[in-house]
Structure 1
Amino acid sequence: MAMAIMQKPMSGGRKYLEKIKKPVLEAESLKKNYILNVIRVVSGAAVGLITMSYVNRVLGAEAIGKVEYAYTIVNYFVLFSSLGIPMYGIREVSRSRHDKNILAKTTLELFILLAITSIVAYLFFFGIIYNLYYFKDYKDLFLILSMIIVLTNLGGEWYFQGVENQMYITVRFIAVRIVMVLVIFLYIKTKSDYPIYALSLVITTCGANIFNFIVLFNKVLKNYSGTLRELNIRKHLKPVLTIFIATVSINIYVQLDSFLLGSLTSDKYVGYYVVPNKIIRLVIGFITVMGAVMLPKLSFYYLNDRDNYYKYLKKAFNLLLVVSIPLSIVFWGYAYDIIIILGGKQYEESVLTLQILSPLCTIVGVAYCMGFLVLYPQNKENIYSFTVVISAVFSVVLNLFIIKYFKHNGVAVVSVLSEFVGILIMYLYLLKKKEFSLFIDRINLFKIIIASLCMLLGVILLNVLMHGGLIWFSIKIFLAFSMYCIVLLLTKEEESLNLISYVRNYLQKFLQ
């Protein structure tokens, strides 16, 4: 695996920054991006929790497991056909957005590459997988879910993230979830309606991507003034394939667990695993989105302004920890309440699974920061690829031995251990390169840990004192997070003080 050459800061980087007054699609301010991100977090979590509870109760563990098993298989075709372009595209678009023609050229080259790989993916999918007798009970699901391949690859989500067009992403995000809610509540009534649930997954995952393509064609691709011969797709292959190795490895231990569980046991155990895993992954998705908001800016600053790069990197790491650690505590302490509320008594076997998976909120947040916010902007994709390959091999080997004995709980243990192995490798590398200390604020980290320990004790005490349904659970959640926030403020934790300052300034402007 060839090592990507680390680019040094450009001379006169600050002057270069001053020259760029209006990018092609002007990047919104970081504060605005965070506000829009919070809107997506809140609306997405609310919709996810409401629909998850309804779907889990109506369809049951076996039907949910069947859909998720088919969804996992289709996602592998999405994975192989995307070639790691989604992450690569964000970085390249961010770097070329100051020039309309270069931006259009880069975007068009990546689209052509994705179109070719999508065609190949469909040939393999319908030529082989769809016709296998082993999958005869999944044909209707495969037909529905296969739309994800083309909609994801030609949706160009990476472009809008690269130019930091967060307003468009947020409006589309909310609109898609409104449609998904209507589909679920209007059409899913019995266990036999699981194909409609599969359709709702398509809508949620990439249903609005057709509008992305229209916007891209009208506002970006038309700006390309060159000829087709001037396009250079080959130059993207080496970095794309490097990232692809990492992406494949990540998805092996994120999605292969459900595939192996379904293949070695039954759809029922997939259902027991998928419900807590989906709850955790829903939250993880929003945690990593906070980092994704920073990625274009970090990629840009790494080339042009190292001081700002490490400033924003430290801010991103602090924010990820402030959000992820208390969520891990809540999932561990209130696992029974969460599973019963979202799935019902039929999912009681998932309680321990959720407790085992709870550390992933923090572990994946830290891994994301090290991998995509530290190594990736620095063109060290090969280090990250090596890390996730080792983690993936570890996951597959261990799962093959543990699934038949511990089923869904065994898969959960392996998932946590695999992520931890990845963090350990990246930590040792960054420690050796003396980069770790550049974005770690040890004093602030200590404050977050103190607040988290206080919250943990509070959660244990509240579980002893309070029992019951949704109302008592809501009270426990409110009290636990209140305790956490109070300790953060008392210790003068940096991000909480920044938030208070921002809210105070906003209110002052509003009242004037």
Structure 2
Amino acid sequence: MDAHQIKKPSIKVNFALNFLRIFSAAIVGLLTMPYITRVLGAENLGKVEYVYTIINYFVLFSALGIPMYGIREVSKKRDNEKELFKLVFELYLILFITTILSYLLIFVLINVSFLSNYRELIIIMSSMVFLSNIGAEWYFQGIENQKFITIRYITVRFLVFILIFLFVNKTEDYQKYAFLVVMLSFGANLINFIFLIYKLLKQKINVKEINILQHLKPIFTVFIATVSINIYLQLDNFLIGILSGDKYVGYYSMANKLIRYAISFITVIGAVMLPRLSFLFLNDKIQYKEYLKKSLHLMMILSVPCTIYFFVFSQNIISFMGGVDFNSSIITMQILSPLCIIVSLAYFFGFLILYPQGLEKVYTKATLVSAIFSLIINFYIIKNFQHNGAAVVAVLSELIAIVFMFVYLKNNGLVYGLFDNNLLKILAANFIVFSVFYIFLFTKINFFNNLIVSSILFPIAYALLLFFLKEKHTKDIFDKIIFNKIKK
């Protein structure tokens, strides 16, 4: 049995590793975005984002619900090496079948007439399906040992960062950029795959013991929820492309991507907590509730100021990241800014409360309702209001899901006293910092209109407010820093 399967790694270490992995993707995106937007322009960038959206549906289809299901099941079996790798083999077998089916459908897709202009892009970006499924990130997250994938992801992303500036130099290079986008997200999965194949071959798994049917029902339950979520996450880009054109996809993607980068940092807390919460729910209910409350507070500490930041400084952010060609993205960013809070709560209710308790069906129903709403409204609103209409629907769809889940949790006594005085302190700090910066911004003082200066002052002011209001987690961090200095 491997040592990493016996010892439960530190949540702080796993958070740091998860954070580094997401940070490496976000920093490459943020550093290259001002360059890419100016080189490719809104239309060509929109083409890449449009095809990315299409292929991402095939990624979702082929993955079924395995990315989330795998984390939970691996975390349960991590202390039994034989059962663990039998599970990995079974899930890989399912992924192999769905990957083949996906490529058959993609072959049909590239022969559809209205997508003929995107044929080369579709072929290039279809590699996402294969690379996504072989990565098995769910295995590494389930055993709570993410050092392996973190090092590889950071290395690959650093190489891609350099390659973008070397090979994407003119408007026509959007296909090269598309390939590098795939490598940025999934290139490191090749290394993960080699590692896992080596581990599987060492196990000498008895094929007669393989039973993939046992996984199908729970996988499909999670799959329906995942697809429902991604209908309103990806449908907007798809419909904007069909109804309004590639240029508007570019405008929407600029604002949406930046906000999704922030959300990925916030939900990393949940991704780190999920394996531990799944384990604690079965073994220690008191600790489970404590970790749950801590998760909510930390997610709100990050998500509320992110919403404020994107809303208040949208003009400065878009001007810096995209230039004047993307001014149409400013209002879009303001509309989408509440997603930082809304998506964090949806993740918290769905994956940190319902999922460890085996209540994923509730989450599935919530996302289905949201997806149906998104489908019905988007056709009308995008046709009339383009990217800004899609932004409104995206926010409302997510909001419907969290209201649905919260009502269920409240009615079934599953809120666990999560909303306490400490949460009120977090909200109070955010209200104050929003009021101050919003007032200063409208005074047109150049000092506050400088994005770099305001981006430094904003988190400092917020952290100090949390400290003076004696917010629990901020106070703990400050106390540890002071204690360590005194100790030295």
Query: Do both share a fold (TM > 0.5)?
Result: yes
**1:175–1:508 CA distance, 2 compared to 1 (3 A):** farther
- Partner residue of 1:13? none
CA distance in 1, matches of 2:205, 2:92: 16
CA distance in 2, matches of 1:326, 1:297: 27
What's the offset of the Cα at 1:174? 1.4
Choose the corresponding residue for 1:430, options 393, 409, 422: 409
What's the offset of the Cα at 1:76? 0.7
Matched, 1:319 2:286: no
What amino acid is the match of 1:240?
Answer: I
Output one character per residue of 1:383-410: Cα deviation in whole Å (capped at 9) or x when no partner.
0000000000001111111111111100
CA-based RMSD of the aligned residues comes to 1.8
Choose the corresponding residue for 2:62, options 66, 71, 81: 81
Counterparts of 1:319-338 in structure 2, within 5 Å, are 319-338=298-317
- Specify the SS of the correspondent of 1:338: helix
What's the offset of the Cα at 1:57? 1.2
CA distance in 1, matches of 2:43, 2:166: 22
Choose the corresponding residue for 1:464, options 429, 434, 442: 442
CA distance in 2, matches of 1:465, 1:36: 41
Choose the corresponding residue for 1:182, options 153, 159, 162: 162
What's the offset of the Cα at 1:214? 1.2
Matched, 1:241 2:220: yes
After TM superposition, the score normalised by the length of structure 2 is: 0.96
Counterparts of 1:75-474 in structure 2, within 5 Å, are 75-126=56-107, 128-219=108-199, 221-436=200-415, 438=416, 440-465=418-443, 472-474=450-452
What's the offset of the Cα at 1:165? 1.5
Q: Residues 4 and 145 of structure 2 are in contact (CA less than 8 Å); yes or no, is this contact kept in structure 1?
A: no
**1:114–1:279 CA distance, 2 compared to 1 (3 A):** same
What amino acid is the match of 2:207?
Answer: L
**1:111–1:145 CA distance, 2 compared to 1 (3 A):** same
Q: Residues 109 and 232 of structure 1 are in contact (CA less than 8 Å); yes or no, is this contact kept in structure 2?
A: yes
CA distance in 1, matches of 2:312, 2:173: 34
Q: Residues 101 and 225 of structure 1 are in contact (CA less than 8 Å); yes or no, is this contact kept in structure 2?
A: no
- Partner residue of 2:40? 59
What's the offset of the Cα at 1:371? 0.3
What amino acid is the match of 1:352?
Answer: I
Q: Residues 341 and 470 of structure 1 are in contact (CA less than 8 Å); yes or no, is this contact kept in structure 2?
A: no
What amino acid is the match of 2:287?
Answer: N
Tell me, which stretches of 5 or more residues in structure 2 are unaligned?
none
CA distance in 1, matches of 2:36, 2:286: 48
**1:21–1:168 CA distance, 2 compared to 1 (3 A):** closer
Output one character per residue of 1:411-450: Cα deviation in whole Å (capped at 9) or x when no partner.
00000000000010000000001111x1514101100111
- Partner residue of 1:500? 478
CA distance in 1, matches of 2:291, 2:136: 26
CA distance in 2, matches of 1:172, 1:439: 40
Output one character per residue of 1:250-296: Cα deviation in whole Å (capped at 9) or x when no partner.
11000011001111111111111111011111111121112101111
What amino acid is the match of 1:171?
Answer: I
What's the offset of the Cα at 1:504? 4.1
Output one character per residue of 1:3-22: Cα deviation in whole Å (capped at 9) or x when no partner.
xxxxxxxxxxxxxxxxx995
Output one character per residue of 1:323-361: Cα deviation in whole Å (capped at 9) or x when no partner.
010000000000000000000000001100000000000
Q: Residues 252 and 392 of structure 1 are in contact (CA less than 8 Å); yes or no, is this contact kept in structure 2?
A: yes
**1:210–1:470 CA distance, 2 compared to 1 (3 A):** farther
Q: Residues 152 and 191 of structure 2 are in contact (CA less than 8 Å); yes or no, is this contact kept in structure 1?
A: no
**1:33–1:111 CA distance, 2 compared to 1 (3 A):** same
CA distance in 2, matches of 1:34, 1:413: 32
What's the offset of the Cα at 1:30? 1.2
Q: Residues 70 and 142 of structure 2 are in contact (CA less than 8 Å); yes or no, is this contact kept in structure 1?
A: yes
Output one character per residue of 1:437-467: Cα deviation in whole Å (capped at 9) or x when no partner.
x151410110011100011012212313455
What's the offset of the Cα at 1:48? 2.0
CA distance in 2, matches of 1:189, 1:470: 34
**1:118–1:43 CA distance, 2 compared to 1 (3 A):** closer
Choose the corresponding residue for 1:68, options 45, 49, 54: 49
Output one character per residue of 1:291-335: Cα deviation in whole Å (capped at 9) or x when no partner.
101111111111111111111111111100000100000000000
CA distance in 1, matches of 2:170, 2:27: 23
Q: Residues 26 and 163 of structure 1 are in contact (CA less than 8 Å); yes or no, is this contact kept in structure 2?
A: no
CA distance in 1, matches of 2:319, 2:213: 52
- Specify the SS of the correspondent of 1:189: coil
CA distance in 2, matches of 1:198, 1:439: 47
- Partner residue of 2:456? 478
After TM superposition, the score normalised by the length of structure 1 is: 0.92
What amino acid is the match of 1:139?
Answer: R
What's the offset of the Cα at 1:381? 1.0
Q: Residues 253 and 395 of structure 1 are in contact (CA less than 8 Å); yes or no, is this contact kept in structure 2?
A: yes
What's the offset of the Cα at 1:135? 1.1
What's the offset of the Cα at 1:241? 0.5
CA distance in 2, matches of 1:469, 1:245: 49
- Specify the SS of the correspondent of 2:450: helix
Q: Residues 448 and 454 of structure 2 are in contact (CA less than 8 Å); yes or no, is this contact kept in structure 1?
A: no
Q: Residues 253 and 396 of structure 1 are in contact (CA less than 8 Å); yes or no, is this contact kept in structure 2?
A: yes
CA distance in 2, matches of 1:122, 1:43: 30
CA distance in 1, matches of 2:84, 2:264: 28
Q: Residues 317 and 439 of structure 1 are in contact (CA less than 8 Å); yes or no, is this contact kept in structure 2?
A: no
What's the offset of the Cα at 1:500? 2.1
The list of structure 1 runs, each at least 4 consecutive aligned residues, that deviate by more than 6 angstroms after superposition, is none
Q: Residues 241 and 248 of structure 2 are in contact (CA less than 8 Å); yes or no, is this contact kept in structure 1?
A: yes
Output one character per residue of 1:193-241: Cα deviation in whole Å (capped at 9) or x when no partner.
001110121112111101001111223x135354101011000000000
**1:417–1:84 CA distance, 2 compared to 1 (3 A):** same
